[in-house]
Amino acid sequence: MKHLIILSIVVISLSSCQQEDNEQYLRFNNEDYAFIPQEYSEIGKNFIFKNAQNEEVTIQPLYYTLKKKYESGYGFGQSNKTESYYYDDLWIELKLLNVEIPNEQYCNRVNIHISNTFYKDLHVEVTVPYYDGQFCKPNGFNQFQPFTEPTQMVINGKTYSSVKTVVPNDFFTLYNGSQIDKLYYDMDHGIIGFDDTQNNIEFRLVSE
C-alpha cells in the first residue's frame, strides 16, 4: 500500500511538470525590452527634474522586480477552462523625495506595472498619487498600450524616441502644492518630464 501511494505521488508530480512544460510562457522578448525602462533597475540612483526656475523634483527607484506569473484559464463566472499560460510580470516602484505629507506615506510613491497578461500583448500601467489636502489617492493613469502613436522629444540635448504623453482625468501630486496634469513617459527610460499647465510650470529630466 505504501508503495502504491509513493507511485501515485510520482505520477501526479510528473503529470504536473508535463502540464507546466506544455503551457505557453509569454516572456519579454527583445522587442518588448525596447519599451521597458531598464534604467530603473539601478536601485537607489536619483533622477533629477528641473523647471525654468531651477526648482528640483527628485525620483529614486526603490525596487525593480521581474517575476514569472501564472494566468489560469479559470475565471470568475466561467464554466469551462480556457487557455492558461505563464508570463513575465515587472513591478517598478519609485519614491518622490520632494513630497512631505504627514501621515500619508503612499503619497510619495509612483508605481509602474508592465506585463504580458492583457490580450497577450505588452501592457503598461503607471500609478501616480494625488493629494487633495486631506487624503492621498492612487489616482494616476489608466492603462495604455505602448505601441500606439509614440512621439519624439529632445531634452537637454538627448533624443527620446518612444514618448507617450499621458493626461489623467485630474491633476496629481509630484511635490507639495503641485497640480501636475501632464506626464511624458518614454518607453525605454520611464518618466522624462511633467507639466503643471495651469501654472505654466514644466519639469524635465536633467540627470539619470
Summarised one tens digit per residue, pLDDT across range 78-129 is: 555 567 889 999 999 988 887 766 666 677 888 888 888 766 678 888 777 7
Is 157 within 8 Å of 167 (Cβ atoms)?
A: no
Q: What percent of the chain has pLDDT over 70?
A: 68
pLDDT band at 39 (very low <50, low <70, confident <90, very high): confident
pLDDT score of 118: 61
Alpha-carbon span 170 to 23, nearest angstrom: 41
Provide the whole-model pTM: 0.72
Task: Return the number of other C-beta atoms located less than 10 Å from residue 174's C-beta.
Answer: 24
The answer to whether residue 190 scores a pLDDT higher than 70 is: yes
The answer to whether residue 149 scores a pLDDT higher than 50 is: yes
